[in-house]
Amino acid sequence: MGKERVAVVGIGQTKHQATRGDVSMAGLVREAAKRALDDAAMTWADIDAVVIGKAPDFFEGVMMPELFLSDALGCTGKPMFRVHTAGSVGGSTAIVAAQLVQAGIHERVLTVAFEKQSESEAMWALSLPIPFTPPLHAGAGGYFAPHVRSYIRRAKAPDHIGMLVALKDRQNGLKNPYAHLHEHDITFDSIKDSMMLWDPIRYAETCPSSDGACALVIGNESVADAAAADGRKPAWIKGTAMRSEPTLSAERDTVIPLAGALCAADVYRQAGITDPRRDVDCVEMYVPFSWFEPMWLENLGFAEPGEGWKLTESGVTALDGDLPVNMSGGVLCTNPIGASGMLRFAEAAMQVRGTAGEHQVDGARTAVGHAYGGGSQFFAMWVVGSDKP
């Protein structure tokens, strides 16, 4: 299959916080989009198509909000559509945008993902009564806590791993001016002493609820070459993959899901990665609850079964480690759900462009962005590199 070479040539994000009361939903997405356009040295008129992503409409109470946001995003007369794959949507949306360019349909696509959780009550929206079943659901934490417990048992992981991840990500977040949480006083003990919300998940091991948006401009080879010639380094997209699996399958492994591994294997194959632990310089993965770092390290082929937590414990995943994970502070610092996946993809691109500021990994040439969503049933990944494929 002939695919055009494509690259990220513009990245923008909002300052994320619990309540962005200063902007409407339209203002929020426009803030991120404008920054991405500025970064790409483009105007709205340069954009051929717009792809919008967000998580469930219940979060803000606007059905299909892409319709009303199309005005703010300069979509008039252009193709615009919306992607929805729950929490992984930010990643899936970027992939759809990239594929529109890879397929040669468009030259420059703007893709935007957002969530304005403060407009309503996301935990309630995620725990709507399911017909004919007991009202036991307690948000995403209540759903994922049993999976985390299974992992701890299966991997024989010590209790402090989750706290180490939380500490690392929150400290990384201090270096990221856009991050929602800037917890300067956080310590291992403050995490340990925080309330056990969904045993075994503590409050401090849980992502916040954020307002925020992220935007990318994706261009074809000539657009990216022009950017490079102009001194604006592109992040070349070396592979994209999505996989899904049914939530209610007897065979399903909720701890280390098959679809996640298949997604990783596919994206590595496209990018020519044969040994992810060796070939990848840094990873932004979707870790809304701290324990998902070791779980995904195993699921994405960075560690053997039961060994993921050892990478965390030995500091391999620290910002100055051998395989830095969640340099931006990750979902644990910033979680505008619909945008969270795209923020992972954007951070990977920033790393290989060398524009990650204080959370830059020295010499990062190959980076992985990862997102998952729903009941661990949707996976989206991309590999970006500093060199043209």
Partner 1 sequence: MVDIRLPESLRGVEPVRSVRTPAQLDYEFTAGDATSRFLKGITEKRIIGQRATPTSRVYVPPRGADPELGAATPIEVEVAQTGTVTSFCVVNLAFYGSVMEIPYTSALILLDGADLSVMHLIQEIPADQVRIGMRVEAVWRDDADIEPTLESIKYFRPNGEPDDPNVRIPGEGHGTGLGSWVGGVAPTEAIIRNPRTGEGGEVR
Partner 2 sequence: MVLTRQLDPITVAPLWPDSVSIAALQARAMLDSGKATEADFAEVASRSRRNALDNPKAQLAWDRSAEEVLSEPYTVAPLRRSDCPPITDGAAAVVLAAGDVARSKVDRPAWIRGIDHRVEPIHLGLRDLTVSESTRLAASKAGVADGPVDVAELHAPFSHQELILAEALGLGVDTRINPSGGALAANAMLTAGLVRIGELADRVMSGEARRGVAHATSGPCLQQNLVCVLEGEEA
Buried b (16+ CB within 10 A) or exposed e, 91-105: bbbbbbbbbbbbeee
Element spanning 243, H or E: strand 235-244
Question: What DSSP designation does 184 have?
Answer: T
CB of residue 57 vs partner 2: minimum separation in angstroms?
8
Q: How far apart are CA 66 and CA 75, in angstroms?
A: 10
Mapping DSSP to helix (H, G, I), strand (E, B) and coil, where does residue 23 land? coil
Examine residue 374 and tell whether it contacts partner 1 (CB under 8 A).
Answer: no
CB of residue 80 vs partner 2: minimum separation in angstroms?
4
| Torsion region of 349: left, alpha or beta (phi above 0 gives left; psi -120 to 50 gives alpha) | alpha
| Residue 136 interacts with, from partner 2, partner 1, none (CB under 5-8 Å by kind) | partner 1
Measuring CA to CA, which residue among 189, 210, 208 is closest to residue 197?
A: 208
Q: How far apart are CA 297 and CA 341, in angstroms?
A: 17
Of 48, 253, 279, 322, which one interacts with partner 1 (CB under 8 A)?
253
| Residue 257 interacts with, from partner 1, partner 2, none (CB under 5-8 Å by kind) | partner 1
Q: Which amino acid is at 63?
A: M
Examine residue 97 and tell whether it contacts partner 1 (CB under 8 A).
Answer: no
| Residue 71 interacts with, from partner 1, partner 2, none (CB under 5-8 Å by kind) | partner 2
Tokens of 187: 């310590």
Q: Which is nearer to partner 1, 228 or 261 (CB)?
A: 261
Taking CB under 8 A as the rule, which mask of x and - marks residues 276-295 in contact with partner 1? -x------------------
Q: Which is nearer to partner 2, 67 or 196 (CB)?
A: 67
| Residue 254 interacts with, from partner 1, partner 2, none (CB under 5-8 Å by kind) | partner 1
Q: Which is nearer to partner 1, 149 or 310 (CB)?
A: 149
Examine residue 146 and tell whether it contacts partner 1 (CB under 8 A).
Answer: yes
Mapping DSSP to helix (H, G, I), strand (E, B) and coil, where does residue 278 land? helix
Give all strands (DSSP E) within 221-335, no chain letters. 235-244, 282-284
Residues 6+ apart with CB under 8 A from 258: 245, 252
CB of residue 279 vs partner 1: minimum separation in angstroms?
11
Element spanning 6, H or E: strand 6-13
CB of residue 146 vs partner 1: minimum separation in angstroms?
4
| Residue 25 interacts with, from partner 2, partner 1, none (CB under 5-8 Å by kind) | partner 2
Residues 6+ apart with CB under 8 A from 130: 137
Buried b (16+ CB within 10 A) or exposed e, 315-344: ebbbbebebbbbbbbbbbbbbbbbbbbbbb
Element spanning 311, H or E: helix 308-313
Examine residue 250 and tell whether it contacts partner 1 (CB under 8 A).
Answer: yes
**Contact between residue 84 and residue 54 where contact means Cβ atoms under 8 Å apart:** yes
Examine residue 195 and tell whether it contacts partner 1 (CB under 8 A).
Answer: yes
CB of residue 158 vs partner 1: minimum separation in angstroms?
17
Examine residue 22 and tell whether it contacts partner 1 (CB under 8 A).
Answer: yes
Considering only residues 199 to 238 of the shown chain, the ones binding partner 1 according to CB under 8 A are: 199-201
Q: How far apart are CA 267 and CA 240, in angstroms?
A: 6
CB of residue 113 vs partner 1: minimum separation in angstroms?
23
Number of residues that bind partner 1 (CB under 8 A): 60
Examine residue 26 and tell whether it contacts partner 1 (CB under 8 A).
Answer: no
| Residue 264 interacts with, from partner 1, partner 2, none (CB under 5-8 Å by kind) | partner 1
| Residue 256 interacts with, from partner 1, partner 2, none (CB under 5-8 Å by kind) | partner 1
Examine residue 127 and tell whether it contacts partner 1 (CB under 8 A).
Answer: yes
Tracing tokens 């995490």 back to the chain, one arrives at 191
Chain positions contacting partner 2, by CB under 8 A: 24-25, 57, 60-65, 67-68, 70-71, 75-81
Examine residue 2 and tell whether it contacts partner 1 (CB under 8 A).
Answer: no
Kindly list the residues in this chain that would bind partner 1 in the complex (CB under 8 A): 21-23, 61, 121, 123-124, 127, 131-136, 138-139, 141-142, 145-147, 149-150, 153-154, 195-201, 246, 248-262, 264-265, 268, 275, 277, 298-299, 301, 303-306
